Structure 1
């Protein structure tokens, strides 16, 4: 993204923001509420369109008019609200709305075996073990539910995964499982934009952090060149970006 701005009436949600994401890279997007994080990711996800600036994907300028176009580029988003169907099992949630079928005369039948096979392959790719594939997702832990949501996004073989507060409201053990999932995504060749209000989690998995404040980018720093304390100072406007800004 180059020089991207977004306004809602008189409110400048983003103002001339540059943002980059490399191949197999995890970038933590950091900022207080109202800093512009959600606006930025929603432009990449096709929910909003920028008022100014441009979006480039794999070196070419693109316009993302809607979420379907984002998905066609290879951009998937897992929001904090997972939008899982609690009474359906894991394969049904992963394939919801795109179920594989086989045909008999005049009729297409959902191929449950094919759904389960693909679901197991995706979970194995993430190194996730779930005892029963056919238990309703309502019965899964928070970390397992996140794994199902990520698996649903992975089915389309995305190049970029946006994860909006995936560790919110999870116990420590479950948080660690989700952080492990992010590491596995990177190892499998997926670039990740990670949003979390917990800096410790962000630093544990991110290669870089991009800090937003009041709609402007105030830092873009490799995590091994800064500290959470320095990032907090940038978030609240206590100092200029430290040495090591990318």
Structure 2
């Protein structure tokens, strides 16, 4: 089996999209149906190449959902990430003439596939069309196949970004809950000792009244006042933090 350069990184990229083994989706099925119609082929696939299997995210014109990767035409197509691989007659191509997809019941003769290359440069799989007779695609069909391939990749990117956004929202919700719990504990941990300080200072001021100089009494009263101001500041800061956290 041919192995592409940076295969481990490519496999990690395929896994990141978490599409292999997922249910059929109308958006992908519409792309393969249109590709088959434009190219005049009975079969069109959106494929993803794993370590040992080639899996079909969409399979128009065939009941197959996967094949072994070592017989996959697409395993050759992803080697050329900038173009399109066209096999006009697999029976005459030394790479495929003994392939069970060619010699067996499926009788594949024609293949054309464009690699689906993600923004990081890794070929995830292909959009391809297949037929049972020798054929060629004209320039308009090739352009259309490439365009549809880009659309298939855009769908994959949208699903990846949506999933990552959902994960970020979940993590943010967990963080918000943790911040709210921290704020509640902070209220308890800061306000209770401060309240005790204020009450003790008030009691001390009351006891010292008429027993000490006025200057000393003013200092005690200032201690009470400062404690109340600090308590008010703590309440305001906590309220602002909770409000900002709620809006975020």
Decide: shared fold, TM above 0.5: no
**Structure with a larger share of its residues in strand:** 1
Band the TM-score falls in, shorter-chain normalisation: under 0.3
Q: Which has the higher contact order (CA 8 A, sep 6+)?
A: 1
TM-score scaled by length of structure 1: 0.24
Larger Rg: 2
